[in-house]
Structure 1
Amino acid sequence: MNLARAIHFDDSDTRVFHSPARTGEWCISGGFEFSNWSQGDLVGKARQAFTNGWLGVETFGRTSFVAVTPITPAEIARLADALAAHFVTIYGAPDVETARPTALEELHQMTELCAGHDINTLLTVTRDLTENGVRESFRALPPQAAALDQFAIHVTDDAPHGHDHDH
């Protein structure tokens, strides 16, 4: 099973997002954040987050690029708990147990998006606000071995608490 991690080629995310995701952080689309937005909300850094920001599931910051990376079911379960807690804290879900199925669905949608892509494939997201709500489109950029060697995320089995290390 694959999910995606935030990847940075420069420091531009620190300038374009209010809160940038951490390099290597697990990410999902996070389009739910914009479900009640209107054109008036689309200004400055908020517009940038809406237009092409992936949501980190650890810091809840945004990133422009993610790289497809293997993930374990145990790590998915840990992320579901963190995302469910975020839904309680930020969106007023009644409790983590109630929010967990929605969190799992968000993670499942991202694993589906990552399925079929090679490891280290870069993904971008673009959002538009339409009369019917938020429309998301995704683009996959095949891994370029020479360019990605310095950024590639390698999974190790001995990572403490299920966290993987960047090498």
Structure 2
Amino acid sequence: MLKFPRTIRLDPSDTFVFERAAEPGEWAVSGAFVFWNRDPTTLGQKQRVALRSGFLGIDSLGWSTLAIVTEATEAEREAMIERLAGQLMEKFGAPDAEAARLAAEEEIAFAGSLCEHPPQTLLAVQRSVENGEIRERFRTLKPRPVAADADRLHAHASAFTFHEVEGDLEPAEEVDLLGLIRTDARTTDRT
């Protein structure tokens, strides 16, 4: 079984922080290509937020703060490629269908490479522009084991308090998810 990211919305914040929020459950890609050849200083506030921390839903071209690792079939992968290639032609000016398909295949393959984790693992991205190039750092968040004597209702009441990070050992840093998730980074550079 293949695995790819889907957008997920744990709270309504995406609808406030992005110009367009992705619908929950859309197949997602990194979306960094949206910002290639753009001067970050000319971006509006909500565009800068998308540049810093958004996954791109391939249907709506909306943004999501988090994505979730989800199993997919080969037919779904092909549909993702076709949909993204169409978006690249229609919205981003790809020179022809072949170039759009090749770019879509590359984006979908990269998205799949982020999903080498168990299904239901949450993914977060942090981007920065360094020397004119976009650097992406991806984090994985997985459910924290709950003590056997914990109240079941309490264990499911607050999604933000029951996650921990899996990844390379780098200095801990706070991710702005209501200030409640502590993360270590697994870094993937793509320029």
**TM > 0.5:** yes
Tell me if the contact between 2:40 and 2:48 (Cα under 8 Å) persists in the aligned partners: no
Q: Deviations over 1:114-149 (max 9, x none)?
A: 12x11110000000011141100000001358549x
- Structure showing greater Rg: 2
Structure 1 residue aligned with 2:103: 102
Tell me if the contact between 1:26 and 1:57 (Cα under 8 Å) persists in the aligned partners: yes
Task: Looking at secondary structure, tell me which structure has more strand per residue.
Answer: 2
- 1:112–1:31 Cα change, 3 Å: same
Gaps of 5+ in 2: 146-154, 160-191
Tell me if the contact between 1:127 and 1:137 (Cα under 8 Å) persists in the aligned partners: yes
CA distance in 2, matches of 1:128, 1:24: 26
Structure 2 residue aligned with 1:118: 118
CA distance in 2, matches of 1:38, 1:83: 24
Gaps of 5+ in 1: 151-167
Which amino acid is the alignment partner of residue 125 of structure 2?
A: V
Tell me if the contact between 2:32 and 2:134 (Cα under 8 Å) persists in the aligned partners: yes
Task: Looking at secondary structure, tell me which structure has more helix per residue.
Answer: 1
Higher mean Cα deviation, 90-99 or 123-132?
90-99
| Aligned residues: CA RMSD | 1.8
Q: Deviations over 1:85-133 (max 9, x none)?
A: 1111122113323310110110001111112x11110000000011141
**Runs of 4+ off more than 6 Å:** none
TM-score, structure 2 normalization: 0.73
Which amino acid is the alignment partner of residue 74 of structure 1?
A: A
**Identity of counterpart residues, as a percentage?**
39
CA distance in 1, matches of 2:58, 2:127: 19
Which amino acid is the alignment partner of residue 78 of structure 1?
A: A
CA distance in 2, matches of 1:6, 1:121: 12
Structure 2 residue aligned with 1:131: 131
Q: Which of 1 and 2 has higher RCO (CA within 8 Å, sep 6+)?
A: 1
Structure 2 residue aligned with 1:165: none
Displacement of 1:78: 0.7
Q: Secondary structure at the match of 2:83?
A: helix
Matches within 5 A, 1:13-92: 13-92=14-93
